[in-house]
Each structure stands twice: as C-alpha cells, then as structure tokens.
Amino acid sequence: MKKSILLSLVLLCSMHITAQQYPFQNRNLSAKERAEDLCSRLTLEEKASLMLNSSPAIERLGIREFSWWSEALHGVARNGYATVYPSCIGMAASFDDDLLYKVYSQVSDEGRAKHTATHKAGMVKQYQGVSFWTPNINIFRDPRWGRGQETYGEDPYLTGRMGSIVVRGLQGEETKNGYYKTFACAKHYAVHSGPESTRHTLNLDDVSPRDLWETYLPAFRKVVKDGGVKEVMCAYQRIDGDPCCGSNRLLTQILRNEWGFDGVVVSDCGAIDDFFKKGHHEIVPDAQAAAGRAVLSGTDVNCGKTYKHLPEAVRNRYISEKELDVSVKRLLEGRFLLGDFDDDAQNPWTQIPLSCVASKEHKQTALEMARETMVLLQNKNKALPLKKNEKFIVMGPNANDSIMLWGIYYGKPTHSVTVVDGIKERMGRAPYYQACELVSFNEKASKNIKRVVEYGTDMAIEDSKTQVGDFSIASALAAARDYKTVIFVGGISPVIEREEAKVDLPGFMGGDRTSIELPQVQRDIIAALHKAGKKVILVNCSGSAVALTPEVETCDAILQAWYPGEQGGLAVADVLTGAYNPSGKLPVTFYKDDSALGDFEDYSMKGKTYRYLNTEPLFPFGFGLSYTSFKIMSAQFDKSGKSIDVVVKNTGKRTGTETVQLYMRCAEDAEGPMKTLRGYGRITLNAGKTGHLSIACGDDVFERFDTDTNTMRSDLKGDYELLIGTSSSDCPIVLKVAR
C-alpha cells in the first residue's frame, strides 16, 4: 500500500513538473501531433515497453502505467462488481439493434466509471482500463466451438451489423471534447473459430477466396468501415503459412490499405510467442525475430512479453527504429484519444458516476435483454404458457446454478436470479427437484453428483430439504410422482463449454465439444418422464446449438435460454408463465444430430450453416415461435426503390413481436450461398392488428463474390430474388429483381 501511494505521488509530482513543458502536453494539438512529439522523446527501451499490453509508467515524462487488456464481452469482466448481461449468442437472438446498443452503452458507462476511480489513484492494472477486447465477431461456423457463445452467430451480415452496434455503444456515438468513451476491439482477425486444442499450431492453407471474402471477412470490414472500431485483435492460427499476427496481407494490405483502418492492432495473448515456440508455428528462430516480424506486419501491441526483445531486434536489424515508431505513434495517439495523458476534469466521460455500476436501471436492461434472448423452439398443444394453478415440479442440472447464468468472460454480479429463484419470485412457493449435477462439471461438484433434493409445495423452500437417495431415473420419477408437469432445466454449462477448458467428460475436449447431442443422462431422464405420462417442458441452457431430435418427441415444449445473465431466472419464469411473450430467433442452425457435422478443422463453408446446408435442419436459422401468430401480408419496394415496405398482421390472440427477415440469392451464382441474410426488422403488434415495416434495400443487399476478380461486388448483373419471411426456411414472399 505504501509503495502504491509513493508511486502515485511521484507520478503526480512528475506530471506537475512537466506541465505544459512539452508539445505533447498541449491539448490544442491533435492527438496525432501529440503522439509524434511524445514518440520523439522516448528511448528505444521505453518505446518497446509501451508496446506491451501492460505498459509501465515512464516517470520522467509523467506517463502513467497503462493496460490495453480489459474485458467487456457482455458486461465489464474481471474487475469487481458489474452488471452481467446475457451471453452474446443470446443477445444475437434478440435481433434488437436498439436494445443491444443500450446494453453496451451501459457496459461502457460502468467500465469508464470504474476506470475513473482507479485512474485517480494512479494505479491502473490489467482489466481496469478502457480498452475493451470485445466484440468477438468470428463466424460461428461449427456448433462444437466452445467460444461460439462469445459471437453473434453464424451469419456474416448479422454479425457485422451487431458488431458495429456493440462498437458504437462502447466507444460512444461521438467523441466528447475530442475523447472517446472507451475503445472497442474486434477479434479474432481472421478466419478463426476453433478448435481450441490446435489454435496455436493450425495452418489454414485451403480457405477459398470466396469463403474468405464472403464469409470470414465481411463482419470485420463492417465494424471497421461503418462501426469505426479503434482496435483489432489478430488471431492465433496461420493462414497460408503466415500467422495472423504476422500477416502483411491481412494487417496491412487488407485492413489498413483497403479498409482504411487507422487504429491499433493488438495480438491475442501469447500469439507472438507462437511464431518461435517449439511445437507451435515455429516460423522464426527466436523472440527478437518474432517481435520484428509482428511489428513490421502491423501488430502494434503485444499481449505477452515478446516485445521486450524489440530493442535487440532493432540492434540486430530485424526492424529499424523508424519502422518501430509507426506502431508507437499509433498506440500513443490512441491513448491521447482516450484522455489518458490529460486531467480527468477535461474529459466529460469521467463524469459518469460510479453509482451506475450494477444499478437498478442496468439490472432492468439485463432483464429486458434476457427476455428477448429466449427462443421458443417447440410448443405442442400450447403446452406453454403454464396454466393458472398448474401443478409442476422443476428439476435439472441448471435449475439452481447461478454460474451457468454468467456464461464466460463475466463480471461479478451483486445478485443472480437462478431459474428456481425466478419461478419462486414470479409464482410464489413453486415446488422443484434439483440434482446438484447430472454431469460432473468439476471435481468439487462431482462429490455431490448423486445428491438429490426434493422440495415440497406446502413449505418454504429453504425449510423443506429432504434427501431422497441416489440420482437415477427411478428417483426422478419418484420425485415427479405427484406432478403432471415437469420443467426440466438442462443443457450444458460454460464451465465445460469455454476457452481451452480442462475437462475430461464424454462429448467435450479442451473447451470444445466432440458431440452436440444433449448429455445422455439428461436424455434418458426426459424420455422416462415422457413415458410416464408427464408433460415435459425442456429449458435448454447452452452457448451453442444442441441436437435435440429425440427431445422433439419426448418434450411438449422446448425453450432455448442460452446463458441468460444475472437476471436470467426471471426471464425464463416470465416466458414460462406467459408474463412475457417470447420473440427470440435463432442466430445459428440447430442440426438434427452429429452426422450433419464434418471435420472440425475444415474451414470450407460447404455444407455448413443455413447458407450452405444441404440437409434439413432440426430448427433453422432465424426460427422462433411466439404465443401468438403472424402473417406477412405483402412486401414491395417503396417509391425510392431503396427500401421494402412489408405489411405484417398479428393473426393471434395476444400482443407479440415478430422479426421479419430479408434474404438474397442469385440464380447465376451456382456456387454461392443458397440464400444469405441481407436485412431484418422487428415489429410489435396487438392481437388482430396490421402494421408496416420498412427494411433498407440499397445496392449492398445485392453484393456477392465475383469469381473473376476474387472480390465482393454489388454491381454484378444477374437475376436476383429477395426472400422475405420469418425464418431462413419460411419466406413466403419473393421479389424478383433483374440487375
């Protein structure tokens, strides 16, 4: 503590001594001019130190320590208390641009407020900065990838559109007094989506130009050109022999020269080590060669320690100091734009109060988003919503698991509402039956794997614990004996579905899955309950698609709840009881079984996602049911020809929200996608009412890959079809366009 106070005093004194002594301290100069001046005053060793993700203070110039690495995937993470919003894949299911922007505006409020408090103390450590390494805009091409829950699904258009919204929410729509609210970072550039186990060695040498430009790059181009993202993170693997963090083609030719990116490129953590580390890429002999190559290719900041060898790299002529200065000036300019060198009083963003963190308003937004993430996949005979006075029991591994709610890369919520808690709050003393674990998620939990607890209906839950023996089909049936309806809260867990997780369980490997089937023990119990005549409601919690083919037969209703955040239990309860009418749509395809999947390391899009799928899915991309029904009555171009007016009618008996989707396909493009999303819009209608929805339809809607030039073009002639519907498989209206 004494050391911390002493360093703060030294920095403050140093800053006072050097006040207005140098041009870089003059706020009337541009951030670029200030960066150029400051760079000229640094030694080679100081420059190298500033290029580390955790860069030390330089006291002689009044420079504070700085951390480029903070997390805000779905809420400020790893930095104390914060609001925990639903997982990104769940938020993608909302198809709600406005609410997504609101979420990330609140996330950046919390992040900036927390940073202001630590910045005033003069000690900003890792995870306490305002450089947030989100959004993850990789394409979720294979449901086995454990980190797919961080993304916005399998579609390039949806991912790019939502990624840009996240960026604007984090960085602020406009600078204030010349300052950005925070920096967002688009990752992992490029062509990255597992497997986790081979990411440090994988060389993708067969990615076609079409797949590269039509699937893997569009979202990055979108967040750079439209979203204005200030940081991009390069990925671990190699493409055509070049590591992504050492690829001149990716980082200079495409990112900077073609797209005009002028921000900071940061490496994924340890990615530069992979250049020379034994058993990894091994493309250069040592650390100094790796550091030199990465900087020359355009990687400005090293998450790791390899850039400590940059002075050696300069002395040994792997890179010149002048070439090094290009990156130093970029990262210094970024710090000036964040206000890191100026007094907080000059920066309006520092006025955001710390009271916003985990506030009542933010928790309400987390609940609103959790509700909108819910996707009703099946509802036989109107099994949902639950009827008044319907007697039911709740069971399953995720019924009372708060950690499941948080997903991965999460903050610390002040309070979490599990599904059981949510049902209790919404319905009073709801009975439930909980197995501590149906699958052993970790060593500690495995000790309780056979413990079963039943709670009765006529006592307060905390007072009614009763041991009923080993967990089995028999005990599950015994617990449900007096209940006609069973709510089974199952699925998987972010404890085992995550980044490089160390788990030894059937169906999982290194955080990825080897099978997308529902765990067999859950499948068997659900089947037994169905056979016993129970009405089974499955609430499936996961960060990815789960194969539920048997459950379509054994369950009366299936609700996909993802990892719904700290308020997730209330959202689930609101849908089950009918207090909220579900409106979520799948941002990924739910396949029938494992046979639909090919080689995990095959990055060809052939046969993958709804755009290229050659088999029938279980539940298609864009699909989701409601407690009411909708019909698209008509669709036509407006007078300008730049948008489509869609007429939608609520043909059901209650108010609801529908997401209308616009897809494009081209008859001349036989090797291209069968259809690809090009627009969407949400509309809320009262029962029996009709409304109009406008979906933009500019030239970019017709953009497709040109095999002659290996580029994406929107001026290619051909016969196009614009398909308008409520999912990728249900598009009743087709507009034909000749171009």
Q: State the Cα–Cα distance between residues 74 and 234, nearest whole angstrom.
A: 21
Q: State the Cα–Cα distance between residues 370 and 161, nearest whole angstrom.
A: 20
Please give the angle made by the CA atoms of 161, 166 and 167, to the nearest 5 degrees: 100
**DSSP E strand boundaries for 76-167:** 131-132
Whether 401 is a known active-site residue: answer: no
Q: Which tokens hold the place of 133?
A: 């390494």
Q: Which of 482, 473, 460 is nearest to 391 (CA)?
A: 482
* φ, ψ for residue 138, nearest 5 deg: -70, 155
Catalytic choice (155, 214, 273, 497): 497
Asked if residue 385 has a cis previous peptide bond (ω within 30° of 0), the answer is yes
Catalytic choice (96, 154, 211, 268): 268
Q: Which of 547, 52, 33 is nearest to 310 (CA)?
A: 52
DSSP string, 36-52: HHHHHT--HHHHHHHTB
Please give the angle made by the CA atoms of 666, 672 and 677, to the nearest 5 degrees: 70
- Taking the CA of residue 84 as centre, how many other CA atoms within 13 Å lie in the half-sphere pointing to its CB? 29
487-517 burial, b for 16+ CB within 10 Å, e for fewer?
bbbbbbbbebbbeebebeeebbbbbbbbbbb
Give the pairing type, strands 557-560 and 375-379. antiparallel
Please give the angle made by the CA atoms of 408, 414 and 418, to the nearest 5 degrees: 65
Backbone torsion region of residue 191, taken as left when φ is above 0, otherwise alpha when ψ lies between -120 and 50, otherwise beta? left
- Using DSSP's 3-state secondary structure scheme, residue 289 falls into helix
Q: State the Cα–Cα distance between residues 232 and 212, nearest whole angstrom.
A: 17
Q: Across the strands, what pairs with 132? A: 70, 184
Give, in order, the Cα–Cα distances in Å from 437 to each of 399, 421, 442, 448, 503.
10, 18, 10, 7, 15
**DSSP E strand boundaries for 501-613:** 508-509, 512-513, 535-541, 557-560
Give, in order, the Cα–Cα distances in Å from 567 to each of 247, 414, 422, 653, 730.
42, 11, 8, 28, 32
**DSSP H helices in 207-309:** 209-211, 218-225, 248, 287-297
Could you tell me the sign of the dihedral formed by the alpha carbons of 378, 384, 390, 393, in that order? positive
Whether 658 is a known active-site residue: answer: no
- Taking the CA of residue 102 as centre, how many other CA atoms within 13 Å lie in the half-sphere pointing to its CB? 15
Asked if residue 72 has a cis previous peptide bond (ω within 30° of 0), the answer is no
**Catalytic residue set:** 268, 497
